Structures are given as C-alpha cells and as structure tokens.
Amino acid sequence: MSNTTSKILTKRKKDVLQVWVENQAEDPAVREDLMANDELHAQSAELLNSFIEAIKSNNYEDIEAPEYYQVTEIISGISLTRAQLGFSPRETATFVLSLKRSIIQILQEELKEDQSTLISEILRISDLLDSLSLVTMETFIKGREEVIIRQSSEINEISTPVIRVWEGILALPIIGTLDSERTQVVMENLLQEIVNSGSSTAILDISGVPTVDTLVAQHLIKTVNATRLMGAECIISGIRPEIAQTIVHLGIDLAGVQTKATLASALQYAFRKSNLVVAKKKNS
C-alpha cells in the first residue's frame, strides 16, 4: 500500500501545524494560564515533525517499533509535564486527538476526488493516533500518581511536626487518621528529633485523631516501643472518654504505656519527671 498520508503531510506540513494549533487554541479545554501559545506551538511542531518521519516507514500499526521511539518519547514527556503542571486528563488527551482532526481535515482537502483512498487513509491514521492517545493517557496517569504520592508525603511531613516544648521534652501532636505510611513518618521524625535534641521524654498527643481502632493502637504501640529503644519515655495524651471506652472494648493492651487525658496533664507529668516546677508569678 502506498504511503499516501506521509506524502500529503510532508507537502502540507505547515498547513497541518497551523490547523492543529488553531484547533487546540479554540478548544475550551486548553488554558493559557497553564501554557503559553508559543510553548504550545513549539510542542506541536516537534511532535508533528517526528510523527511525519515515523509514518514514512509505512508502519501504521506497531507503535512499539523503533521508528516510533522518538514520537512516544515526546508524547510521554509532554504528558508528564502537563500532569505536573495541573492539566486535566481531557486537556492532555486533546493534544493528540486534535492532531487527528487536523490531519483528517487536510486529507479531505487533498483526496476529495478519491473517496476510496480517503476512507482508507482516514482509518489508518485514526487507528494510529488512537493508539498514541492511549500512550498519552497512560503516561499522564502515571505522572499524576507520582504527583499525588509526592504531595501526600509532603503533607505527612508538614502534619507531623515535632515540637521542643522544653529542654529534654518533645511533643508531637497528631491530627487525622494514622495509617502505616504516616506512622512511619511519625516514628522517623520523632526518633530523629530525639537524637538531635537528646530528649528523654516524648509526648504523642492524639487529641486530633478522630477514632482509635486496633490498627491505630498498634501503630501507637510501635511508636512507643521505638521511642523506648532510643532511651526515651513516650507518653500518649489526648485519651478522650470515647477513645478510652473503645480501647477497653477492643481489648487493646496499653499496659506499661503512660497515658494522659490532656496534653496539659502530659506536660505536667513530664515536668515532674524532669524535676521542673512551673508556678504562677505572684503579683507584687
């Protein structure tokens, strides 16, 4: 089969690029706040040049073939960049799908007198660009997952601050649900701060933890045991009445773990343990 589309696109490359960029610019899914028109034009030109070179091989079926390495590399790079910039899936998919519309428009102009060839070429180019659009979405999803994982890690870091309350006394207020990943962050932050500060007492305040079940209790016990191995005592504060009842009903054993109802009570205990006295100053 002759490579009709390749010849047409080579001859009318500038027209295809112009129509493609216009189609993208007119699409409401494309936002100028995320990408300037000059950058959009440059990305489109780079991909179109690589695409035309690839189809000169007359391979419209196997995008894993060597001639498509550069095409898929460009598409993957653009998709990852757009995922990181905050583009939506539709905005990203539009990039390749609008190319298909542009090529079909040029083919219709060139092959209007040969309907049989036109239909054949449109089917071939459509299947090829549909396959490339799947590469776009697969890479985009992977990029978004990486962004979500990174953001989740950053949120965990921010939401688990270790506070030096006093010399030798640390406090770590926990807000939200404790899971395995977050427990690991809590332990790492707390143990590192114990090493850095040489503290002998650490307070885990769970006032902001909505519920305590067996799994959460296990995570807390792991943190307490890890703290002990570092030579520090760990106090759990924020044991509300409903949490105390839940712990009892679940049969969770917190024997040997110092617990307090409030952070204030835990601080008082830690001060006494460190032979510190906090007293109100009398007015003279």
Same domain, 255 and 123: no
> Tokens 């305040």 sit at which residue?
205
Q: Mean pLDDT, the chain, as a whole number?
A: 84
Same domain, 138 and 19: yes
Q: Looking at residue 135, which CATH number applies to its domain?
A: 1.10.490
Total domain count, the chain: 2
**pLDDT score recorded for residue 32:** 58
Same domain, 41 and 112: yes
Tokens coding 225: 């045991």
Task: Please indicate, yes or no, if residue 256 is contained in any of the structural domains.
Answer: yes
Query: Which value, in Å, is the radius of gyration of the alpha carbons in the chain?
Result: 31
**pLDDT score recorded for residue 1:** 46
**pLDDT score recorded for residue 157:** 58
Least confident of 3-12, 22-31, 271-280: 22-31
Phi, psi values for residue 208, rounded to 5°: -90, 5
CA distance 257 to 243: 15
Beta-carbon neighbour count of residue 129 at 10 Å? Answer: 22
Residue 218 clears pLDDT 60, i.e. is over it = yes
Same domain, 46 and 142: yes
Same domain, 232 and 188: yes
Same domain, 85 and 213: no
Distance spanning both ends of the chain, measured CA to CA: 103
Looking only at the bridges linking them, the beta strands covering 163-166 and 169-175 are antiparallel
pLDDT top residue among 250 and 122: 122
Q: Which of 93, 119, 153 is the last residue of a domain?
A: 153
Tokens coding 218: 């296990």
pLDDT band at 155 (very low <50, low <70, confident <90, very high): low
**pLDDT score recorded for residue 25:** 76
pLDDT top residue among 175 and 1: 175
CA distance 87 to 141: 11
Contacts of 158 (CB under 8 A, 6+ apart): none
Q: Looking at residue 226, which CATH number applies to its domain?
A: 3.30.750.24
**pLDDT score recorded for residue 156:** 60
**pLDDT score recorded for residue 33:** 58
Contact 274, 169 (CB under 8 A): yes
CA distance 269 to 166: 13
Backbone φ/ψ region at 176: left (φ over 0), alpha (ψ -120 to 50), beta: left
> Tokens 């395995």 sit at which residue?
180
Same domain, 203 and 254: yes
Amino acid 211 reads T
CA distance 239 to 237: 6
In this prediction, residues 218-240 reach a mean pLDDT of: 86
Q: Which of 119, 153, 187 is the last residue of a domain?
A: 153
Same domain, 72 and 41: yes
- DSSP H/E element including 258: strand 258-260
Q: Which domain holds residue 264?
A: 163-273
CA distance 111 to 105: 10
Same domain, 93 and 124: yes
Among residues of the chain, what percentage have pLDDT more than 90?
21
* 63-99 confidence digits (pLDDT tens): 999 999 999 999 888 888 888 788 888 888 888 888 9
Backbone φ/ψ region at 180: left (φ over 0), alpha (ψ -120 to 50), beta: alpha
**pLDDT score recorded for residue 28:** 63
Task: Please indicate, yes or no, if residue 278 is contained in any of the structural domains.
Answer: no
In this prediction, residues 211-216 reach a mean pLDDT of: 76
Q: Which of 101, 135, 153 is the last residue of a domain?
A: 153
